[in-house]
C-alpha cells in the first residue's frame, strides 16, 4: 500500500503493526512524533501494548530490560540526550542478550544545546553491543524496524534503527507499507529461550559475573555479532519476497565501477545519489557506498564495491575529537591496506545544511585535486 508519512510516523506505524507487549519511552525532540503517534494508537485501541511513560530514558530502557527478560517484545524510541541517559542500560540490554528494538531519531548531543540532526548520539553508542542500522529515508526506517525486530530475536541482540532528526523524521515522504497481517506473519510470535515467566524452567537473569565469567559472556556477544551480517541477509531475502525491496548491510550505488566514491550513511545519501547521477551524465565515474549496518561493521561487504575506486571520501556527521571520525575510521582501516586514497569530511554537525554544491565540491576535489581543505564541509 502506498502512503505518505514522515519518518517518525513511519516507524511508529511499524511499531503499531508489530504491536509489542511493552512500549516504554520518554519524550524528547525530535523523537516526540514517534511516541506521540504511538500514544494515539494506544488511545484508539489499535494496539494492545502496555504503554509506560517513565520519568526518564534511563527508566524507560530499564522497564524494557524487565519486560524483555519476562519474555515479551519490548520497544522504545529516543534521541540525543535521551540516548545518552540510556547509556548505562544499553550495555545491560546487550549484555543480557535481550532483543529490544529502539528507534533513534538522530540529534546532536549537548552542549551547546542543539535540537537538530547529527549522529553524535548514536555514534557514541557504537560500542555498546547493539546492532546499529542506519536509514536513508522513512521507507528504510520502516523496513529496518520490522527487519531489525526479527534480527534481534534471531540473534538475541538488541537493535537500534536510526533516522535523521527533522530531515527524515519530520518530512513527508512517499512510501509503501505492508498490511498489518503481513507484518504479523513476518515477525511471527516471540519465543525466547529463557523467560522470567517460564515457571517450568526457572532461571536467574543479570547475576554478578566477576573475573571468572564476565569475559566469556562478552566473548559470546562478540562471536554472535560476527554472525549478524549473514543473518541480516537471510532475513532481508525473506523480506524481499514480501516487499520486493532489497536490503543489504551496504548499498552499492554505482560504486562498483566508480573512480570516485563517497561513503556515507542516513539521509545525506539521497543528495549524494543526485550528485552521482549528474556526474555520470557528464561521463564521470562517481559513486556512493551507503552504509546501512554500522554495528557490526560489514567489513567484507565494502571491499568489492570499493575495489576500483581511485579516491574514497568518507562523510561523517559526527566527530571523534582528536581521532578519526567513526565511519572514516572503519573505511580507512579496511581500504588503506588496499592502497586506496581515503579522506575524511565532517559535515552537518548540529544540523548545518549540506547542499548539492557541497557534495559537488567534494567530488570535484577528488576528480581534479586542488589541495583544498575539505576536512569540515560548509563550516565558516
Task: Provide the binding-site residues for other proteins, judged by CB under 8 A.
Answer: 95-98, 156, 193-194, 201-207, 209, 212-213, 216-217, 219-220, 223-224
CB of 73 to other proteins, least distance (A): 17
C-alpha cell at 94: 546487550
CB of 146 to other proteins, least distance (A): 24
Q: Which is nearer to other proteins, 45 or 207 (CB)?
A: 207
CB of 85 to other proteins, least distance (A): 23
Q: Which is nearer to other proteins, 42 or 196 (CB)?
A: 196
C-alpha cell at 282: 557528464
CB of 69 to other proteins, least distance (A): 9
CB of 62 to other proteins, least distance (A): 16
Distance of alpha carbon 150 from alpha carbon 181, whole angstroms: 16
Q: Which is nearer to other proteins, 53 or 70 (CB)?
A: 70
CB of 158 to other proteins, least distance (A): 11
The answer for residues whose C-beta is within 8 angstroms of residue 119's C-beta and 6 or more apart is 106, 162, 265, 266, 316, 317, 318, 326
Q: Which is nearer to other proteins, 210 or 337 (CB)?
A: 210
Q: Which is nearer to other proteins, 220 or 333 (CB)?
A: 220
| Residue ranges with strand state E in 69-158 | 74-78, 101-106, 131-134
CB of 154 to other proteins, least distance (A): 13
Alpha-carbon radius of gyration of the chain: 20
Distance of alpha carbon 328 from alpha carbon 299, whole angstroms: 13
Give me the half-sphere count of Cα atoms (radius 13 Å) on the Cβ side of residue 155. Answer: 33
**Are residues 164 and 266 in contact, defined by beta-carbon separation less than 8 angstroms?**
yes
Q: Which is nearer to other proteins, 135 or 156 (CB)?
A: 156
Distance of alpha carbon 351 from alpha carbon 33, whole angstroms: 18
**Are residues 250 and 289 in contact, defined by beta-carbon separation less than 8 angstroms?**
yes
Question: Using alpha carbons only, what angle is made at residue 310 by residues 306 and 312, rounded to the nearest 5 degrees?
Answer: 60
Q: Which is nearer to other proteins, 55 or 212 (CB)?
A: 212
Question: Phi and psi for 267 in degrees, rounded to 5?
Answer: -65, -25
**Are residues 126 and 114 in contact, defined by beta-carbon separation less than 8 angstroms?**
no
Amino acid at each position: 500500500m502506498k502512503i505518505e508519512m514522515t519518518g517518525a510516523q513511519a516507524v511508529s506505524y511499524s511499531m503499531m503493526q508489530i504491536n509489542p507487549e511493552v512500549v516504554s519511552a520518554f519524550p524528547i525532540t525530535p523523537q516526540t512524533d514517534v511516541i506521540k503517534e504511538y500514544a494515539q494508537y494506544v488511545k484508539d485501541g489499535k494496539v494492545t501494548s502496555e504503554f509506560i511513560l517513565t520519568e526518564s530514558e534511563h527508566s524507560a530502557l530499564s522497564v524494557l530490560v524487565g519486560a524483555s527478560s519476562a519474555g515479551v517484545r519490548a520497544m522504545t524510541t529516543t534521541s540525543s540526550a535521551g540516548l545518552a541517559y540510556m547509556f548505562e542500560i544499553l550495555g545491560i540490554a546487550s549484555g543480557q542478550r535481550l532483543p529490544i528494538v529502539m528507534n533513534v531519531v538522530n540529534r546532536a548531543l549537548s552542549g551547546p544545546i542543539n535540537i537538530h540532526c547529527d549522529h553524535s548520539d548514536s555514534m557514541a553508542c557504537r560500542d555498546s553491543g547493539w546492532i546499529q542500522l542506519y536509514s536513508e529515508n522513512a521507507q528504510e526506517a520502516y523496513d529496518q524496524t520490522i527487519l531489525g525486530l526479527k534480527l534481534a530475536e534471531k540473534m538475541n541482540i538488541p537493535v537500534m534503527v536510526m533516522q535523521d532528526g527533522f530531515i527524515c523524521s519530520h518530512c513527508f515522504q512517499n512510501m509503501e507499507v505492508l498490511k498489518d497481517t503481513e507484518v504479523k506473519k513476518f515477525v511471527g510470535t516471540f519465543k525466547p529461550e529463557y523467560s522470567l515467566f517460564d515457571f517450568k524452567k526457572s532461571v536467574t537473569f543479570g547475576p554478578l559475573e566477576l573475573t571468572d565469567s564476565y569475559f566469556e559472556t562478552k566473548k559470546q556477544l562478540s562471536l554472535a555479532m560476527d554472525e549478524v551480517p549473514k543473518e541480516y541477509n537471510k532475513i532481508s531475502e525473506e523480506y524481499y519476497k514480501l516487499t520486493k525491496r532489497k536490503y543489504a548491510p551496504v548499498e552499492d550505488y554505482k560504486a562498483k565501477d566508480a573512480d570516485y566514491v563517497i561513503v556515507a550513511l542516513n539521509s545525506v545519501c539521497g543528495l549524494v545519489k543526485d550528485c552521482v547521477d549528474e556526474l555520470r551524465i557528464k561521463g564521470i565515474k562517481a559513486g556512493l557506498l551507503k552504509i546501512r549496518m554500522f554495528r557490526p561493521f560489514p567489513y567484507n561487504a565494502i571491499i568489492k564495491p570499493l575495489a576500483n575506486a581511485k579516491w574514497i571520501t568518507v562523510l561523517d556527521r559526527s566527530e571523534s575529537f582528536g581521532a578519526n571520525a567513526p565511519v572514516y575510521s572503519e573505511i580507512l582501516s579496511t581500504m588503506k591496506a588496499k592502497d586506496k586514497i581515503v579522506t575524511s569530511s565532517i559535515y552537518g554537525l548540529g544540523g548545518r545544511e549540506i547542499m548539492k554544491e557541497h557534495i559537488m565540491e567534494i567530488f570535484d576535489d577528488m576528480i581534479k585535486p586542488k589541495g583544498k581543505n575539505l576536512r569540515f564541509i560548509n563550516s565558516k
